[in-house]
A and B are shown apart, each in its own frame.
Chain A
């Protein structure tokens, strides 16, 4: 399990887990679960379009991820956020359907793009993934303070000169970046499981923001490692294990919170 091509799988999956844990912390904080689903999903159209035009799939993914994310940001300024996210997603998927219909050989790859091919990662894919991951981590580290303030107390942030809109666009760009680098690995449909399950569980176990971020990364790592090991052993798809383990972690977190609430009295209630 730990030799040959599997090494790539472990390496890339770990990188993906770190990014998913960090970016996911803010996804859950900002209540952007739908966005975390819509951006990777819609970006598939970019891959289809790229193969049509003959450019790199990664570039196509990146362009559409960014377009989708920023589109949600701009339209979401005035429209309802969940509506805008849904419409941006279906618009991108509609374009994807168009591109696929125009190209002849694309259909077989759809499955792998949707569900990922983590066990089939080539050696030369590790480095670019790591580079993009570094960019994501750097962005999160840089944006941490103003993004925290804007996410928790948007009005106060505005008064301090931290524009909510600008922070939203920055955050969405990071989500797009994270989506682009992880989709080839875990697929569009499952990266968001990692991005919401791990942070949602983590926040049940700690009160401190930085600790929650760290725990989120840790849980994400355990998730992907277990998923790869299980997939290798049973031959079942990795995505199945990622989805189930993420749900399990979330359930554990909820259970822990409920148990703790029963054990200790609540602080003063309004």
Chain B
């Protein structure tokens, strides 16, 4: 584990210690292409971190490395100071895509209950303690009113909350959500963000969510990891979302505009035709090339 000089300003290399997640120099090669290059950042307990990058920037790949589903060609991931183990008891995961059959005989509370100990063999014995714990989790995510409904018949947003409860019930120290806001309307997105921020603060759980649009997260993000060109810059939004940092990351000139509290990252050839909102710019590399 060597410290290397990074030219990207604002990039921090943190030692292990009190970090719950420490990503160190992760590089990943897929089909001959270098998808991630020496990505490093750390997250402390209770921190709300946004992993921002366009589609194809490598967010899901990075998540898979953290979860141990993808091997890295270089670097390591430490959880609570120790290398990742096979079972990841410390990590709760909510994937981006999931398909829950509407005809499936499984209630929301049953799915949440699976989160307690599904990795263990055998049949769960119903007990009052179990039921109380499930009720508590359902309440924590505002899902108690549909706890007895078939999980496959709930709306996308409702299902997502059930999956969050499922992830939380195992008392993880880190909650990973892959693009949870992608298919939600604005109000639902705001609700989920508020919910996650509350969970992070109240239960001292580190939350790491990936998104291609950073604006909904600005109010609650403690830290941002910005992914572009396979490299990452991490720090507070003030430290990272700056023209000089992002230009270095993208490898070409980029401007950052603040418009009524919303951030716009634009290609900076000084030409009006290059003006894109952050949303449009981040099918990312298009504006740079």
CB pair A160 B118 closer than 8 Å = yes
Q: Which residues in A have their C-beta under 8 angstroms from that of B158?
A: 268
Q: Which residues in A have their C-beta under 8 angstroms from that of B120?
A: 145-146
CB pair A145 B123 closer than 8 Å = yes
Interface of B is mostly: loop
CB pair A209 B110 closer than 8 Å = yes
CB pair B105 A207 closer than 8 Å = yes
Q: Which residues in B have their C-beta under 8 angstroms from that of A149?
A: 114, 118-119
**Interface core residue of B118, B123, B154, B167 (most chain A CB under 10 Å):** B118
Q: Contact size class for A?
A: 35 or more
Chain A contacts with B in 32-91, Cβ cutoff 8 A: none
Determine whether A158 belongs to the interface, using a CB cutoff of 8 Å to chain B: yes
Q: Which residues in B have their C-beta under 8 angstroms from that of A158?
A: 67, 69
Q: Which residues in B have their C-beta under 8 angstroms from that of A262?
A: none
| In the bound complex, CA of A162 to CA of B67 (Å) | 12
The stretch of B83-91, B135-143, B242-250, B257-265 that contacts the partner chain? B83-91
Known contacts A159-B69, A208-B107; A145 and B124 CB within 8 A of each other? yes
> Per a CB cutoff under 8 Å, which of B95, B122, B124, B150 touches A142?
B122
Shortest A262–chain B CB gap in Å is 15
CB pair B123 A202 closer than 8 Å = no
Shortest A141–chain B CB gap in Å is 6
Chain A contacts with B in 114-168, Cβ cutoff 8 A: 141-146, 148-149, 152-153, 155-162
Q: Which residues in B have their C-beta under 8 angstroms from that of A148?
A: 106, 114, 118
| In the bound complex, CA of A268 to CA of B188 (Å) | 13
Q: Which residues in A have their C-beta under 8 angstroms from that of B123?
A: 141, 144-145, 210
CB pair A202 B154 closer than 8 Å = no
Determine whether B156 belongs to the interface, using a CB cutoff of 8 Å to chain A: yes
Determine whether A267 belongs to the interface, using a CB cutoff of 8 Å to chain B: yes
> Per a CB cutoff under 8 Å, which of B87, B94, B153 touches A160?
B87
Determine whether B8 belongs to the interface, using a CB cutoff of 8 Å to chain A: no
CB pair B118 A145 closer than 8 Å = yes
| In the bound complex, CA of A266 to CA of B154 (Å) | 9
Shortest B154–chain A CB gap in Å is 6
**In the complex, what residue of chain B is closest to A203 when comparing beta carbons?**
B105
Chain B contacts with A in 94-129, Cβ cutoff 8 A: 94-95, 97-98, 100-101, 103-107, 110-111, 114, 117-124
Shortest A206–chain B CB gap in Å is 6
Shortest B183–chain A CB gap in Å is 8
Q: Which residues in B have their C-beta under 8 angstroms from that of A27?
A: none
Determine whether A107 belongs to the interface, using a CB cutoff of 8 Å to chain B: no
CB pair A269 B155 closer than 8 Å = yes
**In the complex, what residue of chain B is closest to A253 when comparing beta carbons?**
B103
Determine whether A212 belongs to the interface, using a CB cutoff of 8 Å to chain B: yes
Shortest A253–chain B CB gap in Å is 9
The 7 A-B residue pairs with the shortest CB-CB distance, nearest first, are A161-B87, A149-B118, A212-B105, A159-B93, A203-B105, A155-B95, A270-B155
Measuring CB to CB, which residues of chain B are less than 8 angstroms from any residue of chain A? 67-69, 86-88, 91, 93-95, 97-98, 100-101, 103-107, 110-111, 114, 117-124, 146, 148-150, 153-158, 163, 166-167
Measuring CB to CB, which residues of chain A are less than 8 angstroms from any residue of chain B? 29, 31, 141-146, 148-149, 152-153, 155-162, 202-204, 206-212, 257, 266-270
Q: List 7 A-B contacts (CB under 8 A).
A: A152-B111, A152-B114, A155-B97, A156-B166, A158-B67, A203-B105, A209-B110
